[in-house]
Structure 1
């Protein structure tokens, strides 16, 4: 093999990694900018290959190669900073639950599953729910077909909220625990719901549960991430301003290391149980090298983690994920210090983004109405 071709290929890869990373810093909401936030793991792996590969040929470097290596090193350091918190090399944001006799009475198991509307393998999810027996089941992209299939488990779930839709944004909530005054809200776009409810834990404490599935930035859905970002930040702001004990879960169509999700954590004060543990990459089922975490759970500091794991495939393009939390209010004061703190800039940017999201949401809602009229 001609080593000169390998040398130039490594330089091309290094330049690509540097370009993609810097491109993602542009302050734009367009999908063709925000999309590069998703594959940070893949970018990091390719960047490491380029970094070591260039070192092999360091004796042949000239000024251009030195400059390229410096830029690559800086952008690779940025990618590592975004990704490493989701490994065991980082300090845990949420403590491991204490093993105590009464512990199970204070635990809550939450399963989140984006079922993929056209997926007909409904029995796989039914069987998984019967096997794992979560206290809370949240399904995304669920329509009437999925609602009918899940009737098989409804006897175990006396509290339900059903929003069957055929637009890929249907949502169902099944709960063994009492739901208090559940509401279905359409925060940004008229046909994209979210579920807001109080939830009574086994010990009697009422907490808030928010189930979200905003529209992603992509060439086939939303041109911009504005409504997605605004919805998440609006709920985070509401949780903080009302000093709520809360759990937020769902397919957020965003990754944990994006600027919006990190700002959401600072605004809401909620914790991410994956930090200091491991990746929970739920999408895409069929492409192992192109996977990232779209399905999330965040919670208040009074919860600790018993377990969090990805479930087997149910025929969707997403893996389900199940998280078991333990209510330990005595640990709240210790864990609150782990929550990132909002700065004045975060508060201002959040308010601006929410206003932008409302305007963009009106525009997208009107587009959806026109599409429905044209097909109607």
Structure 2
């Protein structure tokens, strides 16, 4: 076997292992990290296949396995990513043009800006300018310390309802709201240094909606050696969201990608919908490196909403791009009927994750 054939054989084995290792239900970070780069692995598999077809002309055992392996990896990656392209049906229906001009519909809208600002970032003016330009009803700031809390004080006259909890461990959260807020709660669901927010927001039409702001700890060599605590927090929020009859929005940096097993489990447990499905990836991380980007910042909504607008905002000095979304409470017509639902295995897995996280 020639050296070039050996090279492509070794390359294909590495790409295939990286593509499928995430199927292992193991919580250690060095397994879960492979949930993220499916788009990058697709490109690497494609490049490997092209190189094989150009430079290799002898298809002897085990040479012929290379294009099969790389093709299988590409098909699997496509299966994961295609839902977040325009060829897939949307999960959250768009607002109809005929509806958007009707009286009272603007009173049923809510706009939300999410920004993981990177605690060490000091481009405070960029966030203030973005807030002024978009003028959202709700602003959720993640990774905020006391310096950020003070720097964003110019927002306070415009956002009379606030829940501010700056921290120096990159898990501080600041919630600013123009809408009235009822029963605001700062909660530590799993870990005593990782907060989340639950509040009821009152829209201009008087409708109450539940808002959850989340930022669980990621599995990584510098943060946590496993994903159990992150997964358990998402499961707990998902359970609570499913029990609520009022409209629900869950937003934040989940430290997980949209297509991962954990995020899809969260959707089935919660019954919530992803407005990116059928519209785009909206990769929010890493803002400085285009070749390692994936969707970490999420907005999930209950069946009650239609989508008015969703957009990734320009970089503001952080390693995350902010996200902006405008939603409208949905009329009874055209409400999605194929909502995510958990099966017995999902419920059992969810219970195991929460129990394991609480035991440790």
Same fold (TM over 0.5): yes
**1:61 matched residue in structure 2:** 59
Contact in 1 for aligned 2:29/2:227 (Cα 8 Å): yes
Report deviation, 1:152: 0.5
Contact in 2 for aligned 1:218/1:224 (Cα 8 Å): yes
Contact in 1 for aligned 2:95/2:307 (Cα 8 Å): yes
**2:336 matched residue in structure 1:** 335
Question: Which 5+ residue runs of structure 2 have no aligned equivalent?
Answer: none
Contact in 2 for aligned 1:11/1:54 (Cα 8 Å): no
**2:321 matched residue in structure 1:** 319
SS at match of 2:358: helix
Report deviation, 1:244: 4.2
**Segment drifting more, 153-162 vs 75-84:** 75-84
**1:347 matched residue in structure 2:** 347
Once residues 8 and 67 of structure 1 are traced to their aligned partners in structure 2, the CA distance between those partners, rounded to angstroms, is: 12
1:37-77 Cα distance to aligned partner (Å, 9 max, x none): 11111011111222333334564111212223323322321
**1:88 matched residue in structure 2:** 86
**Segment drifting more, 4-13 vs 142-151:** 4-13
Once residues 75 and 300 of structure 2 are traced to their aligned partners in structure 1, the CA distance between those partners, rounded to angstroms, is: 26
**2:50 matched residue in structure 1:** 52
Report deviation, 1:9: 4.0
Contact in 1 for aligned 2:42/2:73 (Cα 8 Å): no
Question: Which 5+ residue runs of structure 1 have no aligned equivalent?
Answer: 361-376
Report deviation, 1:327: 1.0
Q: Which of 242, 246, 249 is the matching residue for 1:247?
A: 249
Q: Which of 185, 197, 200 is the matching residue for 1:198?
A: 200
**Segment drifting more, 101-110 vs 148-157:** 101-110
- The alpha-carbon distance between structure 1 residues 106 and 244, as it changes in their structure 2 partners (threshold 3 A), is closer
Q: Which of 14, 18, 22 is the matching residue for 1:16?
A: 14
**1:123 matched residue in structure 2:** 125
Contact in 2 for aligned 1:234/1:354 (Cα 8 Å): yes
**2:299 matched residue in structure 1:** 297
Contact in 1 for aligned 2:112/2:139 (Cα 8 Å): yes
SS at match of 2:111: strand
Report deviation, 1:5: 6.0
- The alpha-carbon distance between structure 1 residues 7 and 308, as it changes in their structure 2 partners (threshold 3 A), is farther
Report deviation, 1:266: 0.7
**1:184 matched residue in structure 2:** 186
**1:147 matched residue in structure 2:** 149
SS at match of 2:309: strand
**1:166 matched residue in structure 2:** 168
**1:371 matched residue in structure 2:** none
Once residues 20 and 38 of structure 2 are traced to their aligned partners in structure 1, the CA distance between those partners, rounded to angstroms, is: 12
Contact in 1 for aligned 2:144/2:167 (Cα 8 Å): yes
1:144-190 Cα distance to aligned partner (Å, 9 max, x none): 11111111011111110001100100000000111111000000100
- Equivalent runs, 1:62-81 vs 2, <5 Å: 62-81=60-79
Once residues 229 and 246 of structure 2 are traced to their aligned partners in structure 1, the CA distance between those partners, rounded to angstroms, is: 23
Contact in 2 for aligned 1:11/1:50 (Cα 8 Å): no
Report deviation, 1:95: 1.2
Report deviation, 1:117: 0.8
Report deviation, 1:334: 3.0
